[in-house]
Structure 1
Amino acid sequence: MDKLYSVLIGYVFGNFLFAYVISYIKTGKSPKTFGSGNPGTANVGAELGKIYGILVLVFDLLKTGLAVYLAWRLFPALRVDRLAIIYAGLGVTLGHNFPIWLKFQGGKGVAVAVAVVLLYDPLIGFTSLLIALAVLLWSQYLALGGIMILLADTLFGLFAYPTQAWVIMLVMTVIMAIRFRSDLVAIKNKTQKKVDLLKRFKKAQ
């Protein structure tokens, strides 16, 4: 039952989509009404400004960390193989991507994925983030960068993670791919907008 409770704790925290809070404070509108319509860091940052995107990122990282912390404290048995982290992380992913109050139409969970991979195994997680960044800079597709965070971690985890943790990481990768399915189709059809991060960085200097 501890595993189920950890997932439920994560799901509750995942339902707090801070893109909505920040968007309503700033514009009085839902993030679904502007840009890509995705209630996440990239959309809010692109449409409302970098500072607001950063705020969404920070709060999404914090909610994931808090859910993991509670599961870790409440269920000592799940500290073996750091399973409290992975089960709570799965719950936050489900809550963020499929929040009950939005009829299960939420975000894509990139920030949540970043938090989970770093909390579960910092070394492998950081390596996965570097690979994802390289893919993003090369392809200029946000979707590929987002998916690669979990995909790379899952591939490394095949050789390094306990079976339960690896299976959950694989499930999270599949969820991420499903949430980005429209973007992947657009990439295949060459209709997806590219994002040149290096060019944006130079402009910001």
Structure 2
Amino acid sequence: MPPSFLVLAILALVALAYVLGSIPFAVVVSRIMGLSDPRSYGSKNPGATNVLRTGNRTAAALTLLGDAAKGWAAVWLASLAVRHWGLPGYAVGLAGVAVFLGHVYPLFLKFKGGKGVATALGVLLGFQPWLAAATVATWLIVAFATRYSSLAAIVAAIFAPLYYLFGGNIAWRFEGAICLAVVVISVLLCYRHQANIARLLAGKEDRIGKNKGSAEKGHPGPRRRSGGRKH
């Protein structure tokens, strides 16, 4: 493959991954299901955890699946490009970082996106399923022990690069580009949780299961249609 075409192919793949990551499933699912825009209540974060504040678990689950699926899909497409189009292996790592950035700084939401936990999970699943399983297990243990979703995400993000580093050449083949991508995603995820970290240190962070449904300020329930006839 000519060098100029190779560069264009990598740039196209990265751009595609970023656009894919920019799809705001929290907003899309909420609109389809007649719920309020997740950017209008709670943490104003377009993610599954904030959608759960509506009390609609189906909407939250669909948001989680959508955000994770786009992370996995970007890595899967990059892997296909490496195997069949001759792209270098580091293109997979670039695609993983690009789709994560798309979720965190989405093109379609004026670059104000979610914190990226579900999308990061999807990327890790694409990189190495066992890595994703270990990271999810860490999240579950911390979340169950502390009831803090944000703390669980931060701890899981810190451990993910360590899992990949120590699991390399034992449970899977170590690749420097993938390891670097995991580190970048983990650092960005922790950075996106800086407000949560401040609240955790101040003892003001909400625990899992608190402030859901109509009790939440702003009432994140179904949207009301105006202008209709009274019967």
Aligned residues: 195
RMSD: 2.1
**1:186 paired to 2:199:** yes
Correspondences of 1:28-39 after superposition (within 5 Å): 29-39=36-46
* Structure 1 residue corresponding to 2:129, chosen from 100, 118, 122: 122
Q: Which has the higher contact order (CA 8 A, sep 6+)?
A: 2
Q: Deviations over 1:26-60 (max 9, x none)?
A: 33632111222111111112314101101111212
Identity %: 30
CA contact (8 A) 2:71 2:121 kept: no
Q: Which 5+ residue runs of structure 2 have no aligned equivalent?
A: 1-6, 169-173, 211-231
Alignment partner, residue 81 of structure 2 = 74
- Runs of 4+ in structure 1 over 6 Å off: none
**1:5 and 1:151, CA in 2 relative to 1: closer, same or farther beyond 3 A?**
farther
Q: Which amino acid aligns with 1:9?
A: L
**CA distance in structure 2 between the partners assigned to 1:24 and 1:177 by the alignment:** 29
Structure 1, unmatched stretches of 5+, are: 198-205
* CA shift for structure 1 position 188: 0.6
Aligned to 1:141: 148
Among candidates 176, 191, 204, match of residue 163 of structure 1: 176
Match of 2:62 among 33, 55, 60: 55
Give the residue type in structure 1 aligned to 2:142.
Answer: V
* Higher helix proportion: 1
Q: Which residue number in structure 2 is paired with residue 200 of structure 1?
A: none
- In the aligned structure 2, how far is the partner of 1:128 from the partner of 1:23? 28
Please name the residue that 2:107 is paired with: 100
Q: In 2 relative to 1, CA 73–124 (structure 1 residues): closer, same or farther, beyond 3 Å?
A: closer
The 1-side partners of 2:34 and 2:103 are apart by 22
The worse-fitting range, judged by mean Cα deviation, of 157-166 and 44-53 is 157-166
Alpha-carbon contact 1:117-1:150 (below 8 Å) kept: no
- Which moves more between the two structures, 4-13 or 44-53? 4-13
Q: Distance in 1 between matches of 2:145 and 2:209?
A: 9
